[in-house]
Amino acid sequence: SYTTLKDKLTNATHVNLSHALQARRSCPGAHIVFSSCSYPFSGAEKVEDRFRTEICRKAGVEPIIAGPMINTVDEVMKIKIALKDSGIAPEGILIVTGQLHSRSARYIYRKIFPQCRIFVECVPCRYEIQPDHPVLDQRVMWKWVLSNIMRQIALRLLPLSWVQKIRHKSMY
């Protein structure tokens, strides 16, 4: 998730979900699982869940919705719990994310799902930023690049349990 605006998904969240649904067509038994951002504004995760669920259902897919999250480590932990609660023990996971975020996402998924084969499909990095994005660091490319570098450093130096508590700054 790259979060949501109050009236629509952010560009990256929408594009990532579209790519995930397209990939699922090649593997009909696969599940679409997501966790939504709770930090941009009060109730953001409910808004994002609603938008994403509507898109999935229009595609004939019932998603598995994990609990709300505040960053990628938290997201993956919530997804792991949701899969376990659903009785799903994945052998492989396809992550659909932006080019700049992909290395961190792969690293986190490999740490949290060591028994799984992890695949990554990248969407162009231009979707990861947008001028009206609620996360301030995702409004301009240089800030987003810097945020990704800082995340990589934190992931290598700090325990995942600490990184899981770091929250993005939003405009609200």
* SS3 assignment, position 64: strand
Per-residue pLDDT 10s for the chain (172 aa) are 999 999 999 999 999 999 999 999 998 889 999 999 888 889 999 999 999 999 999 999 999 999 999 888 899 999 999 999 999 999 999 999 999 999 999 999 999 999 999 999 999 999 999 999 998 888 999 999 998 998 898 888 878 787 777 666 655 5
Show the tokens assigned to 111.
């740490």
Residue with token string 């941009």: 40
